[in-house]
Amino acid sequence: MNIIVIVADSLRADHLGCYGSSVKTPNIDAFAADAALFEEAYSENLPTMPTRTAWWTGHYLFPTRKWQPLELSDKLLAEVLWNRGFTSAFVTDVYHMHKPSYNCGRGFDYVSFLRGQEYDPWIVDASIEVDLSLRHRLRGDESDRHWRPNFEQYLRNTAGFRSEEDYFAPRVVSEAIRWLDHATRKQKDNLFMWVDCFDPHEPWDPPDPWRRMYDPGYRGQELIDPVPGLVEGYMTHDELAHTLALYAGEVSFVDKWVGVLLDRIRELGLYDNSLIMFTSDHGEPFGEHGIVRKAALHGYEELCRIPWVIRYPSAGRGRRFDALVQTPDLMPTVLDAAGVATDLSFTGTSLIPILSGTQPAVRDFAVSSWQGVSWTIRTAEWTYSMLVEGGQSEFCNRFLPDHPHRELYNRRTDRAEQHNVIEQNASVADELELKLRRFAAEVQARNRA
């Protein structure tokens, strides 16, 4: 059994064709048709680094950890598989994971960090002139001091791009294929590869034809990387729609290169004896609750729901499951599928029983947190979200001072979470908050054990 995990950062489930979107994602859709698709997958602890810690440890961590390096005491997925004889590789352009203190290469035989994404301080030659006005707009307030150098950094990083292959998704996939081609000369079993692609994370800057695919007639200001915050007063309706079209183009661009990787996996004879996963760490807001990008830090649907497609050769293929599943389930699922026994205990749960049909679900609720600012719990019927004591963000304090500290939404009638019904259902909210707090206490106790 081989293990192959493909991650596309910041990918909303509702922007994949297999999840009902009109966005063109034929390669991921075809893969999903031959795999198991989880309709109700939610990230537990957001954003980038907290999610990856949950993936690699198999633990719920939302009550105790925010964005921070891996801890020395963490027993990581790659380390466990390495100790069981797996040959492994980690290929990524997620530049946060390259930061030395994060130690994200632990347990892998081969690591490749591809530089230059987003605001990575990669090209530091200040003589490279960049013009923000073509693709950015600042807000004209004190936030400009932070965002101007970030935007300039990305434009310098990409100033030399000339062809499609210069962009990040092709480079990640090409490096992953290079390792696979080398590794399979010696073995075609007990391989573990984690391919972590930062796209379609902002900046939303795909090459043509994807750049113009979803809004070909647009002639206005192009904002490939809006300053996070309120849409009103900053972006027009057309500008926001175009930015969303750029995001859709980025998703289709990523789909092409995921397809290239999957094709090579098939050509190398690995497809049918591998557990292959495709997933993301979180979604992205585009004005659904008045904000663009990850600013208000509330656990709404557009932010917390993720795609998760698993091809397990012996079960679940061609099926769609509505069980609530979460990011800490990844490590227990991988070890279960690979037949790797361990004395580690997890707060996540293996999904193999769902795939094999021996049980319909592993939990009756899912939780999400954004760096401890907010906690959210979802059941089949309800979404309840609360701001944690002392956890209100600086953005909310300044721009959303009247935002409710407790919210309740009926998922059966209001999946987009637009109508807060807490006043009419206070007892439901109280019950869900009690369940959420009890679960947080249980997680803390188990993680200390």
Q: Which of 84-98, 148-162, 209-223, 388-402 has the lowest mean pLDDT?
A: 388-402
CB atoms within 10 A of CB 152: 18
pLDDT in tens, 109-152: 999 999 999 999 999 998 999 999 989 999 999 999 999 999 99
Tokens 């004209």 -> residue: 140
Strands (E), 342-418: 366-370, 374-378, 382-387, 406-410
Q: Inform me whether the pLDDT recorded for 88 exceeds 80.
A: yes
Mean pLDDT of the chain: 95
Q: Which of 5-14, 238-247, 295-304 has the lowest mean pLDDT?
A: 295-304
Strands (E), 286-397: 291-292, 305-306, 308-311, 319-326, 366-370, 374-378, 382-387
- Classify burial at 314, counting beta carbons within 10 Å of its beta carbon; exposed 0-12, middle 13-18, buried 19 or more: exposed
User: pLDDT-based confidence at 215, cuts 50/70/90?
Assistant: very high
Better pLDDT: 446 or 34: 34
Q: Is residue 369 part of a domain?
A: no
Question: Could you list the residue range(s) of the whole structural domain that residue 188 is in?
Answer: 2-363
Q: Is residue 169 part of a domain?
A: yes
Q: Is residue 308 part of a domain?
A: yes
pLDDT in tens, 340-392: 999 999 999 999 999 999 999 999 999 999 888 899 999 999 999 998 875 55
Residue 119 pLDDT: 97
Please answer whether residues 44 and 61 qualify as being in contact, where contact means their C-beta atoms are separated by less than 8 angstroms: yes
User: pLDDT-based confidence at 446, cuts 50/70/90?
Assistant: confident
Identity at 190, one-letter amino acid code = N
Residue 447 pLDDT: 79
pLDDT in tens, 386-406: 988 755 556 666 666 667 789
Q: Inform me whether the pLDDT recorded for 297 exceeds 80.
A: no
Averaged over 73-97, what is the pLDDT? 97
Averaged over 295-308, what is the pLDDT? 90
Q: Is residue 245 part of a domain?
A: yes
Averaged over 332-341, what is the pLDDT? 96
Q: CA-to-CA distance for 65 and 75, rounded, in angstroms?
A: 16
Q: Is residue 388 part of a domain?
A: no
Q: Is residue 242 part of a domain?
A: yes
Identity at 367, one-letter amino acid code = V
Cis preceding linkage at 203, omega within 30: yes
User: What does 389-416 look like in DSSP terms, one character per residue?
Assistant: TT---HHHHHH-TT--SEEEEETTT-TT
Q: CA-to-CA distance for 54 and 331, rounded, in angstroms?
A: 8
Please answer whether residues 393 and 297 qualify as being in contact, where contact means their C-beta atoms are separated by less than 8 angstroms: yes
Residue 373 pLDDT: 84
Q: CA-to-CA distance for 81 and 26, rounded, in angstroms?
A: 32
- Strands 36-42, 305-306: parallel, antiparallel or unpaired by DSSP? antiparallel
Residue 397 pLDDT: 63
CATH number at residue 255: 3.40.720.10
Residue 392 pLDDT: 56
Q: Is residue 401 part of a domain?
A: no
Give the percent of the chain with pLDDT over 90: 90
What backbone phi and psi angles, to 5 degrees, belong to 311?
A: -105, 105
Q: Inform me whether the pLDDT recorded for 30 exceeds 60.
A: yes
What backbone phi and psi angles, to 5 degrees, belong to 254?
A: -60, -40
CB atoms within 10 A of CB 125: 7
Give the percent of the chain with pLDDT over 70: 96
Across-strand partners of 254?
none
- Strands 45-46, 366-370: parallel, antiparallel or unpaired by DSSP? parallel
Q: Inform me whether the pLDDT recorded for 304 exceeds 70.
A: yes
Alpha carbon 60 to chain centroid, angstroms: 16
What domain count does the chain have? 1
Q: CA-to-CA distance for 384 and 407, rounded, in angstroms?
A: 6
Q: Is residue 165 part of a domain?
A: yes
